């Protein structure tokens, strides 16, 4: 078993009495892509900031490349690339630097399909181009470890899929990644392993397929009725919370094994249903709740 590239051992982060990260343990192996999922306020960005040395650890220990982050921050940063959630590009610059990094910049602009924009100033770039430029900037130092905080937020499907393609290529080249995202498809596309955080704690972890089977099953049926509430539908069909879940006007039925729509559902009058495969989004909503929390 190779040594972990990054380790978080019983890490906590507190702001006064508020504990935003609670007893987090995480090991990331070389070449692995690990995803952190969770609702807003779950502790994802705080975890990334501690890992990069931007925020202090309240308790616990973080090792990066075998050394404590707070002791060897500069050395660790030299081997790490960071794509921030916020757009931190310098708007006074063009996409292309003209000094020592010029050769590397030309290579990276080609990598993210921005060669034709090399002389464009940052404000002239579209949102998708700016995100791709942020990724190129994070790769200038040829990092062994790439930290991505919601790298495709706000992008259209074409730009998002292009970034996924480039990140998969980096992964094949051996770059280790830690990713936060609100796009469940993105997590399925890129991550070998996922941790779902809620309230600063790890709720569950595993590979995307294993999490789906463990917490939801193979398939999902969504039921809606114009004449009955979702609760009345559940009672009529004789279902309990282990195999069905209520949310507003919808009853979700979880099928552990692939199969046809149950006869009771087909026979129910005045009911619309959708039969589909289970997804990571089902896992996310089932474990963190379907109601909006701020």
Residues 35 and 177 in one domain: yes
Q: What pairs with residue 179 in β-bridges? A: 35, 148
Q: What pairs with residue 68 in β-bridges? A: 63
Q: What pLDDT was estimated at residue 219?
A: 93
Strands 6-15 and 59-64: antiparallel
Q: Which residue bears the tokens 């960071």?
A: 82
- Whether residue 99 is contained in a domain is answered as yes
Residues 201 and 231 in one domain: no
Residues 96 and 155 in one domain: yes
Residues 69 and 193 in one domain: yes
- Two structure tokens written together for 215: 């917490």
d(CA 135, CA 175): 13
Residues 22 and 165 in one domain: yes
d(CA 57, CA 70): 9
d(CA 42, CA 48): 12
> Cβ distance 66 to 7 under 8 Å?
no
Residues 109 and 162 in one domain: yes
Residues 50 and 140 in one domain: yes
- Whether residue 46 is contained in a domain is answered as yes
| CA–CA distances in Å: residue 14 to residues 22, 56, 78, 288 | 9, 10, 27, 22
Q: What pLDDT was estimated at residue 209?
A: 95
Domain count, the chain: 2
CATH label of the domain that carries residue 20? 3.40.50.300
> In angstroms, how far is CA 183 from the centroid of its own chain?
7
Residues 261 and 148 in one domain: no
d(CA 47, CA 45): 5
- Whether residue 175 is contained in a domain is answered as yes
- Whether residue 291 is contained in a domain is answered as no
- Whether residue 288 is contained in a domain is answered as no
- Whether residue 210 is contained in a domain is answered as no
d(CA 182, CA 135): 18
d(CA 20, CA 10): 13
Upper half-sphere CA count for residue 95 (Cβ side, 13 Å): 27
Q: What pLDDT was estimated at residue 117?
A: 87
Residues 223 and 82 in one domain: no
Q: What pLDDT was estimated at residue 91?
A: 57
User: How much helix, strand and coil, in percent to the nearest 5, is found in the chain?
Assistant: 30, 30, 40
**Against a cut of 0.75, is the pTM above it?**
yes
The residue among 155, 184, 205 that closes a domain is: 205
> Cβ distance 147 to 81 under 8 Å?
yes
Q: What pLDDT was estimated at residue 290?
A: 60
Residues 196 and 237 in one domain: no
- Whether residue 18 is contained in a domain is answered as yes
Contacts of 89 (CB under 8 A, 6+ apart): 122, 130, 133, 134, 137
Residues 124 and 254 in one domain: no
Residues 195 and 247 in one domain: no
- Whether residue 283 is contained in a domain is answered as no
Q: At what angle do helices 208-215 and 280-288 cross, to 10 degrees?
A: 50
- Two structure tokens written together for 274: 């959708």
d(CA 68, CA 261): 54
Its domain, for residue 10, covers: 6-205
> Cβ distance 168 to 190 under 8 Å?
yes
Ranges in the chain, pLDDT < 70: 71-73, 88-101, 290-294
């Amino acid at each position: 078993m190779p040594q972990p590239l990054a380790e978080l051992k019983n890490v906590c982060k507190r702001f006064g009495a508020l504990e935003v990260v609670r007893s987090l343990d995480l090991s990331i192996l070389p070449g692995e892509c690990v995803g952190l999922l969770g609702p807003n306020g779950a502790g994802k960005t705080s975890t990334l900031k501690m890992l990069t040395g931007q925020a202090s650890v309240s308790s616990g220990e973080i090792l990066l490349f075998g050394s404590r982050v707070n002791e060897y921050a500069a050395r660790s940063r030299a081997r790490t690339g960071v794509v921030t959630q916020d757009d931190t590009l310098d708007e006074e610059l063009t996409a292309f630097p003209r000094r020592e990094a010029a050769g590397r910049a030309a290579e990276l602009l080609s990598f993210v399909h921005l060669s034709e924009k090399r002389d464009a100033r940052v404000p002239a770039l579209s949102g998708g181009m700016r995100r791709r430029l942020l990724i190129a900037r994070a790769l200038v130092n040829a990092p062994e470890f790439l930290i991505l905080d919601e790298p495709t937020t706000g992008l259209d499907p074409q730009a998002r899929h292009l970034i996924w393609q480039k990140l998969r290529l980096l992964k094949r080249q051996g770059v280790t990644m830690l990713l936060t995202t609100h796009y469940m498809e993105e997590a399925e596309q890129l991550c070998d392993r996922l941790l779902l955080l809620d309230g600063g704690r790890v709720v569950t972890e595993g590979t995307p397929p294993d999490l789906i089977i463990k917490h939801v099953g193979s398939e999902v049926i969504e039921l809606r009725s114009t004449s009955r509430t979702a609760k009345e539908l559940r009672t009529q069909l004789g279902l309990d919370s282990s195999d069905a879940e209520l949310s507003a006007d919808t009853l979700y039925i979880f099928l552990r094994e692939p199969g046809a729509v149950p006869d009771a559902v087909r026979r129910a009058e005045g009911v619309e249903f959708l039969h589909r495969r289970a997804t990571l989004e089902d896992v996310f909503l089932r474990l963190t709740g379907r109601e909006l929390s701020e």
